[in-house]
Amino acid sequence: MECRFIGSFPGVDKMPPDGLPEFVFIGRSNVGKSSLINMLVDQKNLAHTSSMPGKTQMVNLYQAGDQFNIVDLPGYGYARLSKKHRNSLQKMIRDYLEERKALFLVFLLLDSRVAPQRLDMEMLNWLGEHGIPVTLLFTKVDKLKPLELKANQARYEEEILRSWEVMPSSFMTSSQTGEGREPVLGYIASCLS
């Protein structure tokens, strides 16, 4: 799939007019968003990766063929930013999620190595309350033994089902090994058809 960078935008109001359906990637800083996007489109340096969390500070837009767009939203919860800066990033994220008509589906990225995080649960519940379709992508699954992964997944399920009647769709992914690439791309294709 040929994927190209369209641009970085400081807010939803600065983005190009609504066009192709947009699949949005969001998650805590350092969850591996850019690496996962690169793995999915099979292009090493499309989305800029950094060992420093909190690198994405704008709405990054990519076009995947003539089928759909990928949106990389800033990560949330990065402590080293000033409160004012964090608030402005949160507003940028909320404005996009509430106002963008081309928004088709949100992929919420969760770090498979850690227990359910308050900020992730807040984001998931906020998306649910606003009726925004969401699918979970567990990242970095190559870093865990199968039993650890299963146990952590059960923890997430238990936490999510406190607020949700049914578990959202989810996929296991690893940008290192490519795990999840075909299932996620197949899922996107089935959503579009």
What's the DSSP call for residue 53?
A: T
Domain residue spans of the chain: 3-192
Q: Tell me the two tokens of residue 31.
A: 């969850």
| C-beta neighbour count of 176 within 10 angstroms | 13
pLDDT digits 0-9 by tens, 6-26: 999 999 999 999 899 999 999
pLDDT tier, 30 (very low <50, low <70, confident <90, very high otherwise): confident
With both helix axes pointing from N to C terminus, report the angle between 181-192 and 33-41 in degrees, rounded to the nearest 10.
Answer: 80
Cβ pair 71, 80 in contact under 8 A: no
Strands (E), 87-154: 103-111, 134-139
Q: What is the mean pLDDT of residues 138-145?
A: 96
Query: Per CATH, is 3-192 categorized as 3.40.50.300?
Result: yes
Torsion angle in degrees (nearest 10) through CA of 152, 158, 160, 165? 140
CB 31 within 8 A of CB 110: yes
Q: What is the pTM of this model?
A: 0.93
pLDDT of residue 189: 96
